[in-house]
């Protein structure tokens, strides 16, 4: 049987699969959809991250495909309905990078509360903004989590170490579950009005796309920090920058974008004196999480094929 890997996977896990499968690794295929379409019918297994678009057009060519391994959590780049109808098993690496993302959220919260991006920029310029730029603590701040899945729960656990208050909006979660994590489940409106920091932990869907638009940002009463390590299109990027310029929010950290790689036009619209952190979709990608994610998918493939 044959496996095609189109995005980076930890070497030891690839070697483990090589003992049982014929492996092809071609990272360029994540960007070359037409070439991928021409080759996909030869493979029983496809392993991807988030760049490879596994849509119906591709899947219709994948006559031998039985298993898709997603080296991560989000499945918006995979046509799940088509896979269900055609008996193609889709396996995400659920929970394997949750610790990494949770750490990213806490790190971003601390950095932006203390205005580290502004301090860094001014110090590089030879200035000494020791008192000119304010700095705040995470203690006693209210962190609002949009979504309360595994990653959000891990954020709540870490935030409690700093004596933060945690609230969350998730209509699919029983308030009893929130209580187990010392987290109060609230309405979206209450979260917008009460949070000093808002972190997004939602899948991308029709109902969550552009969830944080200008109208939503105007409802935020405490000039919060916005952190998105989930999916880019949940935030309207133009509205986010407008909200920052109008001082409706006090900073933002983006690890995901409407279009990836992030477009230069968006970067050009961010002023140098902006309290922001921009990273290239790496919140869940650490050396440790890559090992866990890769090992998990490799083992699930071996289990699926009973090898």
The catalytic residue among 70, 201, 281, 292 is 281
Residue 271, CA distances (Å) to 109, 217, 233, 261, 265 in order: 20, 19, 21, 19, 12
Burial class (CB in 10 A: 0-12, 13-18, 19+), 16: middle
Burial class (CB in 10 A: 0-12, 13-18, 19+), 146: buried
Answer whether 97's CB lies under 8 Å from 209's CB.
no
Q: What DSSP element (H or E) covers 168?
A: strand 165-169
Instruction: Specify whether 120 is catalytic.
Output: no
The catalytic residue among 201, 231, 237, 258 is 231
The catalytic residue among 137, 180, 260, 288 is 260
All residues at 6 or more sequence positions from 224 whose CB lies less than 8 Å from its CB, including other chains: 144, 195, 196, 197, 198, 249, 250
Instruction: Specify whether 7 is catalytic.
Output: no
Instruction: Specify whether 201 is catalytic.
Output: no
In a 3-state reduction of DSSP, which class is residue 251?
Answer: strand
What residues are labeled active site?
231, 260, 281
């Amino acid at each position: 049987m044959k496996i095609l890997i189109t995005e980076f996977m930890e070497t030891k896990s690839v070697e483990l699969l090589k003992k049982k499968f014929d492996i092809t690794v071609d990272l360029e295929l994540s960007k070359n959809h037409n070439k991928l379409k021409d080759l996909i019918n030869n493979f029983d297994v496809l392993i991807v991250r988030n760049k490879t678009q596994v849509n119906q057009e591709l899947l219709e060519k994948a006559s031998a495909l039985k298993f898709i391994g997603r080296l991560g959590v989000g499945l918006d780049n995979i046509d799940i309905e088509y896979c269900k109808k055609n008996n193609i098993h889709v396996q995400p690496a659920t929970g394997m990078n949750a610790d990494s993302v949770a750490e990213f959220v806490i790190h971003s919260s601390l950095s932006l509360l203390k205005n580290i991006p502004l301090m860094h920029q001014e110090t590089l310029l030879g200035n000494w903004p020791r008192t000119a730029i304010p700095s705040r603590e995470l203690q006693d701040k209210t962190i609002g989590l949009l979504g309360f899945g595994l990653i959000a729960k891990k954020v709540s656990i870490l935030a409690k170490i700093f004596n933060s208050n945690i609230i969350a909006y998730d209509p699919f979660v029983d308030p009893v579950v929130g209580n187990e994590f010392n987290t109060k489940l609230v309405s979206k409106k209450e979260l917008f009005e009460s949070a000093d920091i808002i972190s997004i932990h939602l899948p991308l869907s029709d109902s969550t796309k552009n969830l944080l638009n200008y109208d939503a940002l105007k409802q935020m009463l405490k000039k919060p920090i916005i952190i998105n390590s989930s999916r880019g299109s949940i935030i309207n990027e133009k509205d986010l920058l407008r909200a920052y310029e109008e001082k409706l929010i006090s900073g933002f950290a983006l690890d995901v974008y409407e279009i990836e790689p992030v477009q230069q036009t968006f970067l050009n619209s961010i002023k140098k004196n902006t309290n922001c952190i921009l990273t290239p979709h790496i919140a869940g990608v650490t050396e440790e999480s890559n090992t866990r994610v890769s090992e998990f998918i490799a083992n699930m493939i071996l289990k699926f094929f009973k090898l």
